Amino acid sequence: MTRTREADRAAVEAANTAFYEAMEQGDFDTVTDLWLDDGATEISCVHPGWPVLTGRGDVLRSYALIMANTDYIQFFLTDVEISLTTDVAVVTCTENILSGGPPEDGAELGPLVGQLVVATNVFRRTSEGWKVWSHHGSPVIPETDPDDPGDTPGRPTD
């Protein structure tokens, strides 16, 4: 039982990692494959600052759009936490994002931009592995006191 649970945790973490690697590689087919498609359970997605997208059509179109406008993106995942029941897992993580748009003035890459985003990803077990049921990413708004890196606004404890 414990071994199964550990295997489940490892499989969920692998699915979560694969999800971000597919984004890094601009691999739309893998992103499409990783999103739940059981014909019954509606998926939902919130990109940072966006409204909610519901259903495979809108969700996958959003990824196609983001990929078309991103020349370079890398996710350094930290604080990955997995909360697991039998068939559903809630994963939270911090996405330390480095991304760039089209190059300017003959440079190889466009200007790189760093971004701090936190995500809640819900995975569902299927016969073909764990699939993304819901993704919600949001910007972490920087603390008001730049001299105290631990002082995130409104954060209750540190």
By C-alpha distance, which of 70, 79, 18, 78 is closest to 47? 70
DSSP state of 41: S
Nearer to a copy of itself, 107 or 145 (CB): 145
Q: How far is the CB of 76 from a copy of itself (least distance, A)?
A: 15
Binding mask 25-64 for a copy of itself (x = CB under 8 A): ----------------xxxx-xxxxxxxxx---x--xx-x
The pairing of beta strand 53-54 with beta strand 72-84: unpaired
Q: Tell me the sheet residues that pair with 77.
A: 95
Contacts of 90 (CB under 8 A, 6+ apart): 82, 83, 84, 120, 121, 122, 123
Contact stretch for a copy of itself (CB under 8 A) within 6-14, 17-25, 84-92, 97-105: 84-92
- The continuous run of DSSP H or E covering 137 comes out as strand 129-139
Nearer to a copy of itself, 12 or 93 (CB): 93
Q: Which residues bind a copy of itself (CB under 8 A)?
A: 41-44, 46-54, 58, 61-62, 64-66, 79, 81, 83-85, 87-88, 90, 92-94, 118, 120, 122, 124, 133-134, 136-141, 152-157
